[in-house]
């Protein structure tokens, strides 16, 4: 981890990258100061771009509910340098944060950037920027030929640091083909976003090729064939979490796909405690949805998450500053988390316990 840029400098550069991204991404994304789903709500092509389903109810709720979690300060302790590093997939990461997979940005507006529709360049910048900051990138999948291969190549080039997320293709041979490609690339883990069946443009029967559900038995088979940590992404109930755990999966991602699947979705942060209770320590719990700062990361860790994903802001960071933008954005999250740990008497991630936060019920939608 190269943490040679301090917080004040980081936020200045991040602000510049946001300005640059705004010029590039408008009108598809407004690059708001805080990406909360309000300005992009209700756009005609919302679900295909940066917004969420319908009027962004699920997206906005995810951000609002995180904001309702408050952090308890304790500055009476000896001086120390907080250590937010974690061990995961046999690797030491500088912080418990990853870039969530963003497969495709579909837009009616052409985006004037070397990263637009340039899957290899996009994935390489994302993976490299995250690795440089001591974090990791998860990459996505879609139906375009060669897309998935472009996503896993930079992970392979980085010694396997990163996680490809394979769509639950209806055509099983297509699914196994991608799983085998990821295994060959020796990625440190493999994920599947089982909730992709809810993405409008991928409903079975309306697109070629479609995606479809996986039964518990099929999940068990996938876990076995993966021969590396397998993660089920798109868990939003205790029932589904228990089934994922029964499949032998290494971990789950509590995620509502950024509010892209169900407009009336609960916020992922509101599911963490009950799901942790339901599955105990049998699986790693990752969470994403509305995370915008190191404070948000701290809150989810306090509720029981093992690591936290961030989606849309990484798109903005990348379009605004390339791999360096991704690096700078990760440093911003890193320093914010370190500061929270110092302010709450936490030396390590293990010290970030439930008593460090409380949830205000007033903002519940
Ligand atoms: C434009 C877009 C594309 C996405 N593509 C994928 C994908 O290919 N695979 C996947 O598992 N999740 C995908 N997601 C969901 C993200 O991985 C993540 O769950 C979500 O964006 C987290 O919410 P946040 O953006 O509020 O941080 C996508 C989200 C967006 C906004």
Would you write out the chain's pLDDT as a tens digit for each of its 365 residues?
Answer: 556 788 999 999 999 999 999 999 988 889 999 999 999 887 755 555 688 888 899 999 999 999 999 999 999 999 999 999 999 999 999 999 999 999 877 777 788 899 988 899 999 999 999 999 999 999 999 888 999 999 999 999 999 999 999 999 999 999 999 999 999 999 999 999 999 998 865 544 555 678 999 999 999 999 999 999 999 999 999 999 999 999 999 999 999 999 999 999 999 999 999 999 999 999 999 999 999 999 999 999 999 999 999 999 999 999 999 999 999 999 999 999 999 999 999 999 999 999 999 999 864 55
DSSP secondary structure string for all residues of 48-111: GTTS-STTTHHHHHHHHHHHTEEE-----S-----B--EEETTEEESSSEEEPP------SS--
Contact 115, 318 (CB under 8 A): yes
User: What residue owns the CA closest to ligand 1's atom 30?
Assistant: 102
Q: Which of 106, 115, 257, 267 has most ligand 1 atoms within 8 Å of its beta carbon, as the pocket-test mutant?
A: 257
User: What residue owns the CA closest to ligand 1's atom 3?
Assistant: 102
Cβ of 211 below 6 Å from ligand 1: no
Q: 355 C-alpha to center of ligand 1: Å?
A: 30
Domain assignment present for 147 = yes
Q: Which of 39, 46, 102 has most ligand 1 atoms within 8 Å of its beta carbon, as the pocket-test mutant?
A: 102
Q: Any idea what DSSP says for residue 143?
A: S
Q: 52 C-alpha to center of ligand 1: Å?
A: 10
Number of domains the chain is built from:
1
Cβ of 50 below 6 Å from ligand 1: yes
Domain assignment present for 273 = yes
pLDDT score at 172: 96
Residues with Cβ within 8 Å of 172's Cβ and at least 6 positions away in sequence, in order, are none
Q: Provide the pairing of β-strand 91-93 with 97-99.
A: unpaired
Q: Which CATH number characterizes residue 286's domain? A: 3.20.20.70
DSSP secondary structure string for all residues of 183-210: HHTT-S-EEEEGGGGG-GGG-BTTBSS-
Domain assignment present for 2 = no
Q: 164 C-alpha to center of ligand 1: Å?
A: 13
Domain assignment present for 245 = yes
Q: 160 C-alpha to center of ligand 1: Å?
A: 21
Is the C-alpha dihedral spanning 325, 328, 334, 338 positive or negative? Answer: negative
Which ligand 1 atom is nearest residue 195's CA?
A: 11
Which ligand 1 atom is nearest residue 259's CA?
A: 23
pLDDT score at 54: 85
Percent residues over pLDDT 70 in the chain: 94
Q: 311 C-alpha to center of ligand 1: Å?
A: 6
pLDDT tens profile 117-171: 889 999 999 999 999 999 999 999 988 899 999 999 999 999 999 999 999 999 9
Three-point CA angle 99, 82, 160, nearest 5°: 35
Phi-psi region of 56 (alpha: psi -120 to 50; beta: other; left: phi over 0): left
pLDDT score at 252: 99
Tokens standing for 84?
Answer: 């937010």
Q: What domain range is 142 assigned to?
A: 7-363
Q: How far apart are CA 192 and CA 235, in angstroms?
A: 11
Which ligand 1 atom is nearest residue 51's CA?
A: 31
Q: 101 C-alpha to center of ligand 1: Å?
A: 6
Q: Is the peptide bond before 27 cis (omega within 30 degrees of 0)?
A: yes
- The helix (H) or strand (E) run that includes residue 357 is strand 357-359
pLDDT score at 136: 98
Q: 342 C-alpha to center of ligand 1: Å?
A: 31
pLDDT score at 84: 98
Which ligand 1 atom is nearest residue 59's CA?
A: 26
Q: Specify the 3-state DSSP secondary structure of 5.
A: coil
Instruction: Count the Cβ atoms, other than its own, within 10 Å of residue 285.
Output: 23
Contact 313, 270 (CB under 8 A): no
Q: Any idea what DSSP says for residue 265?
A: P
Which ligand 1 atom is nearest residue 104's CA?
A: 3
Cβ of 257 below 6 Å from ligand 1: yes
Cβ of 318 below 6 Å from ligand 1: no
Helix segments in the chain, DSSP class H? 7-25, 57-67, 119-132, 147-157, 172-184, 216-226, 238-246, 272-279, 294-303, 312-343
User: What residue owns the CA closest to ligand 1's atom 28?
Assistant: 102
Domain assignment present for 55 = yes
Nearest to 286 by CA among 80, 89, 81: 89
Domain assignment present for 30 = yes
End-to-end CA distance of the chain: 39
Q: 312 C-alpha to center of ligand 1: Å?
A: 7
Q: 356 C-alpha to center of ligand 1: Å?
A: 29
Domain assignment present for 1 = no
Question: How buried is 302 (Cβ within 10 angstroms: 0-12 exposed, 13-18 middle, 19+ buried)?
Answer: buried
Contact 187, 160 (CB under 8 A): yes
Specify the residue for token string 């640091």.
161
Cβ of 291 below 6 Å from ligand 1: yes
Tokens standing for 248?
Answer: 């032998």
Domain assignment present for 70 = yes
pLDDT score at 105: 77
Instruction: Count the Cβ atoms, other than its own, within 10 Å of residue 79.
Output: 5
């Amino acid at each position: 981890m190269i943490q040679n840029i301090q917080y004040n400098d980081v936020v200045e550069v991040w602000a510049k990258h946001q300005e640059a991204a705004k010029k590039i991404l408008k009108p598809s994304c407004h690059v708001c100061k805080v990406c909360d789903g309000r300005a992009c709500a209700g756009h005609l092509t919302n679900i295909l771009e940066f917004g969420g389903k319908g009027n962004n109810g699920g997206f906005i709720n995810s951000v609002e509910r995180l904001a309702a979690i408050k952090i308890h300060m304790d500055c009476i302790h000896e001086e120390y340098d907080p250590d937010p590093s974690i061990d995961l997939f046999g690797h030491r990461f500088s912080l418990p944060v990853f870039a969530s997979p963003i497969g495709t940005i579909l837009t009616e507006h052409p985006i004037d950037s070397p990263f637009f529709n340039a899957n290899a360049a996009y994935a390489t910048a994302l993976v490299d920027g995250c690795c440089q900051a001591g974090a990791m990138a998860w990459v996505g999948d879609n139906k375009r030929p060669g897309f998935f291969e472009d996503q896993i190549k930079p992970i392979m080039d980085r010694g396997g640091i990163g996680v490809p997320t394979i769509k639950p293709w209806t055509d099983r041979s297509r699914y196994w083909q991608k799983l085998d490609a990821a295994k060959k690339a020796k990625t440190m883990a493999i994920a599947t976003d089982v909730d992709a069946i809810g993405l409008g443009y991928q409903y079975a029967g309306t697109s070629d090729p479609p995606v479809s559900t996986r039964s518990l038995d099929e999940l068990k088979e996938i876990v076995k064939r993966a021969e590396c940590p397998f993660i089920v992404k798109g868990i939003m109930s205790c029932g589904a979490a228990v089934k994922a755990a029964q499949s032998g999966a290494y971990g789950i991602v509590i995620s509502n796909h950024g509010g892209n699947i169900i407009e009336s979705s609960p916020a992922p942060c509101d599911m963490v405690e009950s799901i942790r209770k339901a599955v105990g320590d049998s699986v790693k719990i990752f969470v994403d949805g509305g995370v915008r700062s190191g404070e948000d990361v701290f809150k989810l860790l306090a509720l029981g998450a093992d690591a936290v994903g961030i989606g849309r802001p990484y798109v903005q960071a990348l379009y605004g500053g390339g791999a360096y933008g991704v690096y700078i954005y990760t440093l911003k999250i890193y320093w914010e988390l370190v500061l929270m740990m110092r302010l709450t008497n936490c030396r390590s991630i293990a010290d970030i316990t439930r008593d460090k936060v409380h949830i205000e019920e007033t903002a519940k939608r």
